[in-house]
Amino acid sequence: MVHWTPEEKQMITSLWAKVNVAECGGEALARMMIVYPWTQRFFSTFGNLSNPQAIQHNPKVLEHGKKVLTSFGNAVKDLDHIKETFAHLSELHCEKLHVDPENFKLLGNVLVIVLAAHIRKDFPPACQAAWHKLVAAVAHALALRYH
Amino acid sequence: MTLTQAEKAAVVAIWEKVATHANAIGAESLERLFSGFPQTKTYFPHFDLSQGSAQLHGHGSKVLSAIGEATKNIDNITGALATLSELHAYILRVDPVNFKLLSHCILCSLAAHFPNDFTPEVHAALDKFLSQISSVLTEKYR
């Protein structure tokens, strides 16, 4: 289980209150597909992913990004039970979606960058560090049920 | 990280021995990969990955054969693996981290099969060589 200090919990939850989940989720997923183009391999049914503009405005990308970040919010709501929270999703990503867990790390890093871009001065190094811990914990939880 | 002449020679020499057991070593390397790093199986949902499966053997020998091509063209690995490079970049899109995992498993198999030949120097040369192959295969990713 991840050990959180009270300060880390506070930084995570207060930052989350400022996050526009739809906007940041869509942007994070789009950026991941643009910066790491090989991640597009999971989204062949999403339509036009042929260039950064297309990806950033693709409605399926935006919708899916929102879904992913909304789910991420469940980790924030219960920081002490991240593994349990994502147990079912872990099985799903392994057995049905066949997603290499490396992608969770890629998306997690992109998310932190998107937060930095949106939140700016309210996202200082200490806050970023707490969020790195969180995205790593979520990535780990999502990979846990892989077999 | 380019290979020295001595390293190239070491790679070519050990690979002559490997080539005679390519099928077995290829399959074993993949088995090691899938057991040690189960997440790598996500790239093969269409395969029967049980021990001794025909697909495992077929794919293992395909991989080792490509490495063999690289040893025969060790001064121009980029050219020798150009088609495979495009395949990995545009079709397969295996996350780059997995090349290290497979390279590691290949080294384990070689160490197990050729303990006397797998000296530290040969180990170092092979590690560099496999790393160079990995770079070529991921070169066109972005």
Residue A1's pLDDT band (cuts 50, 70, 90): confident
ipTM score: 0.82
d(CA B141, CA B96): 9
pLDDT band at A69 (very low <50, low <70, confident <90, very high): very high
pLDDT value at position B22?
87
- A109-127: per-residue pLDDT in tens? 999 999 989 988 889 889 9
Assess if residue A83 is contained within a domain: yes
User: Do the domain assignments include residue A1?
Assistant: no
Closest-CA distance, A59 to chain B, in angstroms, reads: 23
Please name the residue of chain B whose CA is at the shortest distance from the CA of residue A98: B42
Cα torsion B121, B122, B125, B130: sign: negative
Average pLDDT of the segment spanning A5-12: 97
Chain B residue numbers touching A35 (CB-CB < 8 A): 142
Question: Which of the four pLDDT bands, split at 50, 70 and 90, describes residue A94?
Answer: very high
A19, part of any domain: yes
Does A70 or A1 have the greater pLDDT score? A70
Q: Do A99 and B141 touch (CB under 8 A)?
A: no
Domain that holds residue A119: 6-143
Q: What is the pLDDT of residue B131?
A: 97
Q: How far is B13 from chain A (nearest CA, A)?
A: 35
Q: For residue B94, list chain A residues with Cβ-Cβ distance below 8 A.
A: 38, 100
Instruction: Tokens 């990535």: give the residue.
Output: A139
Q: Which residues of A touch B96 (CB under 8 A)?
A: 38
pLDDT at residue B1, rounded to an integer: 76
Does the beta-carbon distance from B42 to A99 stay under 8 Å?
yes
For residue A17, the domain's CATH number is 1.10.490.10
* Residue in chain A lying closest to B38 (CA): A147
Interface contact A98-B43, CB threshold 8 A: yes
pLDDT tier for residue A32 given thresholds of 50, 70 and 90:
very high
**Overall average pLDDT of the A134-140 stretch:** 97
Q: What percent of chain A has pLDDT over 70?
A: 100
Considering only the beta carbons, identify the residue of B39, B89, B97 that sits closest to A143. B39
B39/A98 touch (CB, cutoff 8 Å), yes or no: no
Report CB contact under 8 Å: B45, A98: yes
User: Is A132 inside a domain boundary?
Assistant: yes
CB A28 within 8 A of CB A111: yes
Using the beta-carbon criterion (under 8 Å), do A100 and B43 form an inter-chain contact? yes
- pLDDT tens, position by position, for chain B (142 residues)? 789 999 999 999 999 999 999 889 999 999 999 999 999 999 999 999 998 899 999 999 999 999 999 999 999 999 999 999 999 999 999 999 999 999 999 999 999 999 899 999 999 999 999 999 999 999 999 9
pLDDT of A134 over the 80 cut = yes
Residue with the two structure tokens 């150009």? B82
- What's the 3-state SS for chain A? CCCCCHHHHHHHHHHHCCCCHHHHHHHHHHHHHHHCHHHHHHCHHHCCCCCHHHHHHCHHHHHHHHHHHHHHHHHHHCHHHHHHHCHHHHHHHHHCCCCCCHHHHHHHHHHHHHHHHHHHHHCCHHHHHHHHHHHHHHHHHHHCCCC
Q: Tell me, what's the pLDDT at A75?
A: 96
* Residue B93 to residue A100, Cβ atoms within 8 A: no
Residue from the list B42, B89, B142 with its beta carbon closest to the beta carbon of A100? B42
pLDDT for B52 equals 87
Count of structural domains, chain A: 1
- In angstroms, the separation between the Cα of residue B43 and the nearest Cα of chain A is 7
Distance between CA A53 and CA B15 in Å, rounded? 47
